[in-house]
Amino acid sequence: MTIAVVNTKGGASKSTVAFQVAAASFLAKKQEVHLIEFDDENKDSETFSNSKIKSSQVEIGDGTDVDEVLKDTILVPKDKNIVIDVGGNKTTTIILEGLKKTRLYRKIDLFIIPMSGGYQDLKNAEKTYEMIKGFDVPVIFALSRVRNPKRLQFQYGDFFRAFPKKKYFILTDSDVIDLSRTQKKSVYEIAFDTNTKGAFEKALDEAFDTDDNDKIAQFSTLLQIFDESEEYVNDILTPAFEALEQKNKKDK
């Protein structure tokens, strides 16, 4: 299965959605997955070196032979799971035009268009949707950095007006996303990682023993965020994984 995450806007939560939701959904199914980031500059992509999700980065620029890159990355057997994190701006255009020209969009099972709120993200989501709707591949939106799920209509009112009937899932804005970066593994993996929790608890014990208040505060906070990662899996990630599954089955 191949999932592509795309929005022309920088900072729209593409990499977060690609890693924490799309790629992690395969871990939840006990399957292997390869995450590929297409980008226009060889910036150091975040390395999640402790994660079971294998990731790599492909630089896309003016001189890139896009046919070749697409063949190498997505022309793989159906039983392989691939998640493509398509970089914003020019990279989006290069990749989407390449997919169209080569017809290789037919190898993509699902597009996710993420947004992190705000007018520009929505405008770019609309633009991105226009670019991919002709592919006739299922599309689902990801509303990220949600402040309060009960007030989703307030924060994301423009989205619901622009796309009244489109499927979406939400990611609440949470410290667990930042903890995931420091632990170099996905939130889904952290939630089940008793070793990490044990290490935090041990460090907290030591801090109490030595009366080190700075360390007490630090590890008390880390343990609270760790606990939140379990809630995040139950309340946010599991429903998001289910949304991907349904979207993929129903619309094709």
Ligand X SMILES: Nc1ncnc2c1ncn2[C@@H]1O[C@H](COP(=O)(O)OP(=O)(O)OP(=O)(O)O)[C@@H](O)[C@H]1O
Minimal distance, residue 235 CB to ligand X, in Å = 13
88 binds, among Mg ion, ligand X, none (CB under 5 to 8 A by kind): ligand X
Beta-sheet strand order (sheet of 168-172): 54-59, 34-39, 82-86, 2-6, 110-115, 139-146, 168-172
The DSSP bridge pattern shows strands 54-59 and 139-146 to be: unpaired
Q: Does 15 contact Mg ion by CB under 5 A?
A: yes
Q: Which stretch binds ligand X (CB under 6 A): 12-20, 57-65, 122-130, 226-234?
A: 12-20
Ramachandran sector of residue 89 (left: φ over 0; alpha: ψ -120 to 50; beta: rest): left
Residues 31-60 that bind ligand X (CB under 6 A): none
16 binds, among Mg ion, ligand X, none (CB under 5 to 8 A by kind): ligand X
Q: Are 53 and 33 spatial neighbours (Cβ–Cβ below 8 Å)?
A: yes
DSSP3 helix / strand / coil % (the chain, rounded to 5): 55, 15, 30
Separation CA 191–CA 230 (nearest Å): 5
- Sole binder of ligand X in the list 26, 58, 86, 87 (CB under 6 A): 87
Residues 135-194 that bind ligand X (CB under 6 A): 144-145, 171, 173-174, 177
* Amino acid letter for position 226: F
Minimal distance, residue 106 CB to ligand X, in Å = 25
Q: Does 20 contact Mg ion by CB under 5 A?
A: no
Other beta carbons within 10 Å of 147: 12
Comparing CB distances to Mg ion, the nearer of 6 and 140 is 6
Q: Which residues contact Mg ion by CB under 5 A?
A: 14-15
Q: Which residues contact ligand X by CB under 6 A?
A: 10-16, 87-88, 116, 144-145, 171, 173-174, 177
